[in-house]
Structure formats: C-alpha cells, structure tokens
Amino acid sequence: MTNFAKPLESDFWSEYNIRLEPWNISYDAPVSINPEEIPTSDKVNTEVEFTNSEWQPIRLAIAPELPNQILFIDGRLRLDAKFLGRRDDEILYGAFATIAVGAVLVDRTISRAKCVATEVRRIIALGGNLAAPVTVVPCPMSGRGDLKYDYCLTSSNNEPDTPSQLVQGAMLDEELRVANQISLDKELIQENTLIVRDGPLLYRVYQTPYDTIGYVKTMGKAYLKGENAQVMRSLKVGERTPIFRISNSNGSNLSWYLRSGSNDLNYKRLGYHDLHGIIRIDLDAIVPLERAKAIADQSTYLIPYYASHPTRDPRAPQNLTPVGALEKELGRRMGNRELISRRLRSFLAELSNII
C-alpha cells in the first residue's frame, strides 16, 4: 500500500474515464475478470495445552486474577461507492471508502468506561498501480463540509475485490496504530491492562507492552474436528476449550473457544443451535504457554461479563457491549452512506460534463 498525490484531480478522473458502479455495493461487480483465489493453508495443532485424549471443557473453580483495565479496539469500514475506470483496453477497479477506528477503555477498579480515541479516514483505493490524487468533493449549497479523500492506496493487482482488500488492510493498520499509540500513554493506561481487538489478529503482531487478544465472533472456518469439535459444542457459559495452535506461512496464533452469554438464557430451550454464543480468542504465539493459559482463564470470566443481551443487541451474546457502543459512535462519525454516495455521483458527473 502506498500514498499518492496528484495536483490536478479533475484531469485524473476525466483521463481514466472514471464512472461510479451503478450496482448496489452489496452485490458483486457486474464486470469481472475471474480473479484467482489463493486459499490459505492453515495447520492446526490441538495438542498444545493437553493431548487429544485429555481434551474436555475447562472451567475454573476459583476466579482468576483479572486485569484492572480493558482496552477495546474496533474499526469499521464502508465502501462509499465503487467505480470503474479505463486505461486503454484495461478495466480499472476502484472505490471511495471510509474507515473509522476507535477505542473504549474500561477501568474495572472504578466501574467506568469511556471512549478514548476515534479517528475517521477517507480513502481512494484503486488497482493497477494507478496513483489516484488527493480528492476534495465540494459541499453542496445545503450541506455541511467538504469530503476530503486524502488517503490514496493502490496495488499491482487489478481485480474486482482489490479495492475492498486494500481498504480492509488499511483499517487493520489503523487499529494496530491506535492500539500502539494508546498503550504508550502512561497517564491513561495502567500496567495491568488487557487489550481486546474485535476480530482475528490475522498474524499482525501488536507491539504494545500489554497482552492483546483477538475476539472472533463469527465462525468462518472449522478449526476443530471430531471429538475436539464435540468438546467445543458441549461448552457451557464460562467454559473454554484447551488451547490449540493455528499456523500458516504468515505465522501462528494460539487460540481457544469459549461460550459466552448469560446463565439465565438457555440456548437449547430457546431453540438455538449448539454454536450459539461460541466465540474464538486469538493470542500471538510468542506469548509463553503459562501466560496464555492465564489469559484464557481470564477470558472465561470477562467475555460473558461484557456480553450483550438479546433484548438490546440482535448479535447477542457474541457482540460485546462496549464494542457495540463504540460501533454506533464510529458509524455516526462516518456520515450517512446514501448522502455521501449521492455527492460522489454528482462530483464525477460534473467533471465529465455529463450534467
């Protein structure tokens, strides 16, 4: 990913015949070059904490020592509008996008939570190694403020999914930067702090002086098989599986599953499936096993405590209450998607002398 700037933005958008993609961004692009997908080969070692014959749900009889503070980090991304361009006979894929990253610090010693950081960046992501300029979308007469897309990304790839992949990477980089920045604020962060990043760590090492876990609330892959998977499905609220290791060419993480939620809500009686409330925790594999076990035990108490309730959040209990509140604040700061898309359409139409 590279930052680019070009002074004559109107020349750029006209030269490459940039037009908004008319299909709704929730659909695949109607023009596709059939991109090749290179699957990641994950290797799973389930004999990290116990041998397979010893696998069983883990619940502590005594509550473990818990951190004084928890720092929740989350990011949101949105493709404001997709667009297509043309360079000779080559179709160029791009997108205007917005990312927002924030953090909520929970001080457990005084039972207080506060938002300590929110940042919004507007991005132009474009394939084909094409350098998009910093672009200012002027405010209409009745609107408020110009839109400045000043974070420009490109890649040698040029496929329909290239823009969204660039934006996803930029959001993860921002989450990493925010986590590192806040963790170095000695007036804000105490020594006994746990950082919770909403989503998998994706093998990106957090260079913070504190423990960081990735909170994965969706089941995208089946990492456990056979009897080990049965142990996961049999978990009760506040129980976890033994720790296992996930490795690929990019590195490795330690992981475990636990069941979150409230003991007063019986998912079986409610007719839910046996994976209801199951989440996975990621931890960098450089963490020593004994420390990893301590963090895993902490998570069996902390995650259910901050779990959302179905009367307030349709993603309960997987979505954490502090993260849900942060998501709403980030969404507010990103602005209205429909209004922004309308402004982008008018902007490109005017540059192309369509209207």
Query: Residue 147: CB partners within 8 Å, gap ≥ 6?
Result: 122, 136, 137, 139, 340, 343, 344
Q: For the whole model, what pTM was predicted?
A: 0.85
Q: What is the dihedral angle through the alpha carbons of 28, 30, 34, 38, rounded to the nearest 10 degrees?
A: -10
Residue pLDDT, tens place only, 204-263: 666 677 889 999 988 878 899 999 999 999 999 999 999 999 998 878 899 999 999 887
- Residue 103, token pair as written in the block: 């953090």
| Local confidence pLDDT in tens for the 355 residues of the chain | 444 334 346 678 778 877 776 555 544 443 333 333 333 568 999 999 999 999 999 998 888 999 999 999 999 999 999 999 888 888 999 999 999 999 999 999 999 999 999 999 999 999 999 988 999 998 776 666 789 999 999 999 999 999 999 999 999 899 989 988 998 898 999 889 999 998 888 656 666 778 899 999 888 788 999 999 999 999 999 999 999 999 988 788 999 999 998 877 766 666 677 888 899 999 999 999 999 999 999 999 999 999 988 878 888 888 899 999 999 999 999 999 888 988 998 888 887 654 4
At residue 32, the pLDDT reads: 39
By CB atoms closer than 10 A (0-12, 13-18, 19+), residue 165 is: middle
DSSP string over 30-49: SS---PPP-----EEE--SS
